[in-house]
Structure 1
Amino acid sequence: MNDLIRQAIAAEAEERVDSRTVLAGLHKAEKRKPFGLIVGVATLTAAAAVAAVVVPATIKKTDASPAAPPAASQNVLLIGTDDSEFTDALVLARFDADGSVSAVSLPRDLQVGEEKINRLYGQAPEKLTGAVEQLTGVEVDHYAAVDMGGFGRIAQIVGGVEVCLLAATEDERSGASFPAGRQTVEGDRALAFLRQRMGLPHGDLDRVKRHQAFLTGLAAKINKDNAVALAAEVGRSVRVDEGWDVLAFAQRFQGPVEIVTGTLPVGAPVDGPAGQALQADPGASRQFVADWFGGKATPQDGCVR
């Protein structure tokens, strides 16, 4: 695997290695942890999907490189897990043919049947994808899961991720200690920013907004100079469904990616079989996702809590 990464770097730096040779080698890499192009679609949100776009474009240097097949829209469920295999972040992302991404965050405390949605992935990935399909009315083509703990290092590789907070915040549990305004986070500070939900007015819903802000900031920092290192880092902890050719998927997207994020509408917390949880109306959820993926998504700018 390290040889493949070094070969990719050499192709970028010297432009002497035929990218077809590199890509052929990547296809033969270990399927459970292929080269970091997988990363592209396996971050806490769609952020690392940008890496999957940039890396092929970086490696693909020669005119002799095979033409990418026409892209088609695909729905990818992006899962960020903690050490206990619970889901801390859940994003349903539509990758459109033009390279744009529309992403809908699903709160981790969402009630699904008798359980919260954050517990389903640890039971079986198919149980989670099935629940998401039933709730949103959207077929999940593939899923990718990544350990949330790696995002501090990811932010460090790109030189930090710029975020903006509406107010100063402190939280001993997550280690968060941030002033108001724009600031750059990486390492442990990035993890604290992503993990905090205690002390926020809307708890996990505010944390979802932070995930989305981090996604947008990370996407803006990924480029051909850091894409290979980024892909190598996050590729260590990525898991994808067995039948997904992520390399072929990534090759179809060339150039920058526009990411628009939103959150599935939910009601106020109520007591349920799994404790206090958030409720979502299936009909309203399906309409929201259909509108969001149908071109009615609007960028969310500004600071978060």
Structure 2
Amino acid sequence: MNDLIRQAIAAEADERVDSRTVLAELHKRRKSKPFGLIIGVATLTVAAAAAAVIIPTTIKKTDAAPANAPVAEAQNVLLIGTDETHRSDALVLARFEGDGSATVISLPRDIYVGASPDRLNSLYMQDPRRLVDAVEQLTGTRVDHWAAVNMAAFGEVAAAVGGVEVCLNAAVNDPYSGADLPAGKQVIAGDQALAFLRQRHGLPLGDLDRVKRQQAFLAGFAAKITGETGPVLARLVGKAVQVDEGWDVVAFATRFQGPVKIRTSTLLVNQEVVRDSAYGYAVDPAQGKKFVEEQLSGKGQAGTGCVD
């Protein structure tokens, strides 16, 4: 698999390899090993995340899409940002439209699953299918596919695109996450990018403000994706991502022809509650499903501005 990716990257550099042949081979072998190319997020995901943007950038400039190509159907993808223990630091439900645009709904990781003491952040390490089922029940929306990315990779990913621009309302110096950043607009990468995404201590709304940071990072990151950055990102992201085996990533990627237009929002939650001595959020089932339906119909916001 790594050799095939290197062939695709080489095709962009000197066109010695026919990229269509490489992509066809990737498609044929995808069942033997999960093949994930996801930019995000996490966000993450991160940020999340715009998924599978890289493959089109490795296609030779002369390989135009057929004029009568059918419009791709919208797909809902659950993007999961994991920590070292495989807990979910970031959860994003993203609807990718046929034109490559995306509606991103952040799901606070500490949402309780129904009336149980389990929170969303613990389910992926138990069983990815259990997390998918819980998200479908919570949102009333089908999840077509999922992709999980190690959050630790986002510092390198940000550096690969020359840094990601974010904006802070106030300076931060947090010993827990390592975030040490001034107020205002700035470009972050490496350790400070990861610290920016992980900080929750010292923020007015804790985890909910961290979700806003993940959205801001994702929007800034998507704006930096270009044909030149694609091959570099392929090397970095391919090592840190896993997707469900039923996902035809190659076919999915054909809808992306440039930077992804993203609309963002966060699932509405009630005040913190305590179950089994652990804090978390409850979600009104009817309100949650209505909120998701409205956002996926196009009411999310483009861009996030400065964040806490």
TM-score range, shorter chain: over 0.9
Picking from 272, 284, 289, the partner of 1:286 is: 289
Letter of the 2:38 counterpart: V
For residues 256 and 245 of structure 1, the distance between their equivalents in structure 2, rounded to whole angstroms, comes to 21
Which residue in the other structure is 1:94 paired with?
95
Matched, 1:152 2:155: yes
Query: Is the Cα contact below 8 Å between 2:166 and 2:187 reproduced in 1?
Result: yes
TM-score normalized with structure 1 length: 0.92
Which residue in the other structure is 2:179 paired with?
176
| More displaced 10-residue stretch of structure 1: 24-33 or 125-134 | 24-33
For residues 18 and 265 of structure 2, the distance between their equivalents in structure 1, rounded to whole angstroms, comes to 40
Query: Is the Cα contact below 8 Å between 2:45 and 2:149 reproduced in 1?
Result: no
| More displaced 10-residue stretch of structure 1: 249-258 or 100-109 | 249-258
Cα-to-partner distance string for 1:212-260 (whole Å, 9 max, x where unaligned): 0110111111111111111221111211112111111112333332011
Structure 2: stretches of 5+ with no match in the other structure: none
For residues 173 and 57 of structure 2, the distance between their equivalents in structure 1, rounded to whole angstroms, comes to 41
Instruction: Give secondary structure in 2 for the equivalent of 1:257.
Output: coil
Instruction: Give secondary structure in 1 for the equivalent of 2:52.
Output: helix
**1:274–1:56: structure 2 CA closer, same or farther, 3 Å change rule?**
farther
Query: Is the Cα contact below 8 Å between 1:51 and 1:231 reproduced in 2?
Result: no
Matched, 1:82 2:104: no
Cα-to-partner distance string for 1:61-92 (whole Å, 9 max, x where unaligned): 33476675430001000001111111100000
Letter of the 2:278 counterpart: G
Letter of the 1:97 counterpart: G
1:63-74 alignment runs, 5 A limit = 63=63, 69-74=70-75
For residues 307 and 16 of structure 2, the distance between their equivalents in structure 1, rounded to whole angstroms, comes to 45
Which residue in the other structure is 1:129 paired with?
132
Which residue in the other structure is 1:61 paired with?
61
**1:49–1:80: structure 2 CA closer, same or farther, 3 Å change rule?**
closer
Letter of the 1:265 counterpart: L
Query: Is the Cα contact below 8 Å between 1:48 and 1:219 reproduced in 2?
Result: no
Cα-to-partner distance string for 1:69-124 (whole Å, 9 max, x where unaligned): 43000100000111111110000000111211001000011111311111111111
Offset, 1:296: 1.7
Matched, 1:12 2:12: yes
For residues 66 and 7 of structure 1, the distance between their equivalents in structure 2, rounded to whole angstroms, comes to 23
Which residue in the other structure is 2:38 paired with?
39
Letter of the 1:257 counterpart: V
Offset, 1:154: 0.5
For residues 98 and 237 of structure 2, the distance between their equivalents in structure 1, rounded to whole angstroms, comes to 25
Structure 1: stretches of 5+ with no match in the other structure: none
For residues 42 and 301 of structure 1, the distance between their equivalents in structure 2, rounded to whole angstroms, comes to 15
Which residue in the other structure is 1:252 paired with?
255
Offset, 1:301: 3.1
Query: Is the Cα contact below 8 Å between 1:74 and 1:96 reproduced in 2?
Result: yes
Offset, 1:17: 3.1
TM-score normalized with structure 2 length: 0.91
**1:195–1:64: structure 2 CA closer, same or farther, 3 Å change rule?**
closer
Query: Is the Cα contact below 8 Å between 2:41 and 2:50 reproduced in 1?
Result: no
Picking from 192, 196, 206, the partner of 1:193 is: 196
Aligned length: 303
Which residue in the other structure is 2:26 paired with?
26
Letter of the 1:77 counterpart: L
For residues 240 and 54 of structure 2, the distance between their equivalents in structure 1, rounded to whole angstroms, comes to 19
Which residue in the other structure is 1:52 paired with?
52
For residues 277 and 65 of structure 1, the distance between their equivalents in structure 2, rounded to whole angstroms, comes to 47
Query: Is the Cα contact below 8 Å between 2:49 and 2:218 reproduced in 1?
Result: no
Query: Is the Cα contact below 8 Å between 2:145 and 2:247 reproduced in 1?
Result: yes
For residues 194 and 63 of structure 1, the distance between their equivalents in structure 2, rounded to whole angstroms, comes to 37
Query: Is the Cα contact below 8 Å between 2:9 and 2:58 reproduced in 1?
Result: no
Instruction: Give secondary structure in 1 for the equivalent of 2:238.
Output: helix
Q: What RMSD over aligned residues (CA atoms) do the two structures have, in Å?
A: 2.1
Query: Is the Cα contact below 8 Å between 2:40 and 2:218 reproduced in 1?
Result: no
Offset, 1:126: 1.1
